[in-house]
Amino acid sequence: MSDIKILGIESSCDETAASVVLNGREVLSNIISSQIDIHTLYGGVVPEIASRKHMERIDRVVDKALKEASLDIKDIDAIAVTYGPGLVGALLVGVSYAKSYAWALNKPLVGVHHIKGHICANYIENKDLKPPFMCLVVSGGHTHLVRVADYGEYEVLGRTRDDAAGEAFDKVARVIGLGYPGGPKIDKVSYEGDPAAIDFPRAKIADNEYDFSFSGLKSAVLNYLNSLQMKGLSYEQADVAASFQQAVVDVLVGHSMAAIDEYGVKDFAIAGGVASNSHLRTAMKAACEEKGINFYMPSPIYCTDNAAMIAVAGYHEFMAGNTADLSLNAVPALKLE
Ligand code: KG4
Ligand code: ZN
């Protein structure tokens, strides 16, 4: 078969992104227009502002992605777009744009699940990675332990019962005065703190050992800060950050290793914004090495939201014949089957 070029479009949260990927592995362009500066002013993503910014930027972002790939839109085989999960107004911008483009140019349209996109980011730099493998997806909205049986076949073994891992990072960062975006700031400041300074809880779920819960940990951090405040004592920001992060990393590594043991997998990958956390990357790599498991992780730029991962996931949907028609709509709470 000839080369397949997919244009990927991503606008589910606060990144407006477009990318062209060749044959589901080779990134020809990867344009990301981040809105972090604007949302930082409000301490988190403001959905209405995110949608408006996507509207302002999407045209130029897509043009730039095609230009950098030295391609004309006519050379593209299909247009892949994130249709969920995410912020409805933000998703609608990408979906409407992709639908208009596909209709005007008579190109196939592919709807992509954002979480599948995160998982597929692993195929970009790890040319030898193929299903079956296991993947931990940790992002701002999701924490999923997934068995990837085939390119289009996903089985969720565990998920969070409350907050997502990234959400916990962002909330704790806010209460200890680090601000938004919390994950990268906690990652950095933790190098100056002691991860064993405070013994925060590592939650276990009784009826599914692969499910996660981070709300108790978040409350434990709040209680710790309040109890010191009531005594008129101050806290060590770096110690709280490092100890909180260690609790998250321990749970993520612990659940992953238990699933690896039970399912006897040989290949393990991480994905999503929190997968760019340097401490998690080091700990997970060491734990996999100890078990003799092949460990995969995307570069940080492919962990946080991007459209290259959407083009890769779109490639596999397209090859499987899963194209969408113009009734494609945004699905904010789209489930991973
Ligand atoms: O995957 P992503 O870009 O967007 C979603 O799909 O949610 O993930 C964003 C999340 C945010 O919660 C952010 O704080 C977190 O990923 N994150 C990190 C790091 N970089 C981003 N968390 C921990 N350490 C990091 N270095
Ligand atoms: Zn994401």
pLDDT tens digits, 317-326: 999 999 999 9
All structural domains of the chain with their residue ranges? 5-121+306-319, 131-298
Ligand 1 centroid from CA 104, angstroms: 35
**CB neighbours of 291 closer than 8 A, spacing ≥ 6?**
257, 260, 261
- Looking at every residue in the chain, the average pLDDT score rounds to 97
Q: How many CB atoms lie within 10 A of CB 191?
A: 11
pLDDT higher than threshold 80 for residue 1 = no
pLDDT higher than threshold 70 for residue 304 = yes
Please indicate, yes or no, whether the overall pTM of this predicted structure exceeds 0.75.
yes
Question: Percent of the chain beyond pLDDT 90?
Answer: 96
Ligand number, closest to the Cα atom of 300: 1
- DSSP-H helix ranges across the chain: 36-40, 47-68, 88-105, 114-120, 122-125, 165-175, 182-189, 215-230, 237-263, 278-291, 300-303, 308-319
Ligand number, closest to the Cα atom of 141: 1
Ligand 2 centroid from CA 45, angstroms: 13
Instruction: Decide: 121 and 306 in contact? Cβ < 8 Å.
Output: yes
- Residue-wise pLDDT for 106-139, tens only, equals 999 999 999 999 999 999 999 999 999 999 999 9
Ligand 1 centroid from CA 166, angstroms: 5
Ligand 1, atom nearest to 115 Cα: 6
Ligand 1 centroid from CA 198, angstroms: 23
Geometric angle at alpha carbon 69, from 51 and 85, rounded to 5°: 30
Rg (CA), the chain: 20
Report the CATH fold assignment for 5-121+306-319. Nucleotidyltransferase; domain 5 (3.30.420)
Domains 5-121+306-319 and 131-298 alike in fold: yes
- Residue-wise pLDDT for 221-275, tens only, equals 999 999 999 999 999 999 999 999 999 999 999 999 999 999 999 999 999 999 9
Q: Are strands 294-296 and 267-271 parallel, antiparallel or unpaired?
A: parallel
Ligand 1, atom nearest to 279 Cα: 24
CATH 1.10.3480.10 fits 131-298, yes or no: no
